Amino acid sequence: MKLILLGAPGAGKGTQAEILCKELSIPTISTGNILRAAIKNGTPTGLKAKSFMDAGKLVPDEVIIGIITERLAEEDCKNGYILDGVPRTIAQAEAMEKAGIVFDAVVSIEISDETIMERMSGRRVCEACGSSYHVVAVPPKQEGVCDSCGGKLVQRKDDAPETVKARLEVYHKETEPLKDFYAQRGLLKSVENQSSVAETSQAILHALGR
């Protein structure tokens, strides 16, 4: 199963991807997590990406296309994968298509901007492994500590309210047109955000015929 998760920043793509990858036994590839790791390690890609990310802007397409084609060529991707946060522009989607990367389904998680603004203030991520939590909706067993690896949970710099607003604008302008792009290819499945994480997972699995 080769799957794309679409949705605004804060729609719950990362959380759903973590659940789905266990359910479907395929890896999740998150360009956001790859970029954050690159910044932490001070790599040339990280240096290039940092200022865009801190401002809530998109990292240039050529950087992303390089990262994703390299990652999808790795051994663990041969039976399928879930893409979280990529493609984010028509140019990225076209570049993947050109590279012969095809998908079985594209799930778009639908949620209002208002709900996202409320939600982002409570989001926490593990600075070591990238797992995501929410202080109310998905709390870790021990406050501030990652359940998966014991790493420290922090608030992302780009989850500040002004940056979230900028990221939502970018989403509507650059990423939302991908819904039409994949609808034209018969791949789009729109799923409404539900009141709990588990119900949204159920709705996604149902949309995938599972």
Which range of residues in 83-91, 136-144, 146-154, 201-209 is near ligand AMP by CB under 6 A? 83-91
From CA 104, how far away is CA 4, in angstroms rounded? 9
User: In whole angstroms, how far apart are CA 117 and each of 76, 89, 122, 123, 185?
Assistant: 35, 22, 10, 11, 31
**Residue appearing with tokens 């679409």:** 6
Contact status: 28 vs ligand AMP (CB under 6 A) = no
* Active-site residue, 22 included: no
* Active-site residue, 156 included: yes
In which element (H, E) is residue 161 found? helix 161-170
* Active-site residue, 124 included: no
Contact status: 59 vs ligand AMP (CB under 6 A) = yes
Identified catalytic residue from 36, 88, 119, 124 = 88
Among 18, 167, 182, 189, binds ligand AMP (CB under 6 A): 167
Contact status: 119 vs ligand AMP (CB under 6 A) = no
Among 72, 86, 95, 111, binds ligand AMP (CB under 6 A): 86
In 21-147, beta strands by DSSP E: 28-30, 81-84, 105-110, 123-126, 132-134
The catalytic residue positions are: 13, 88, 123, 156, 167
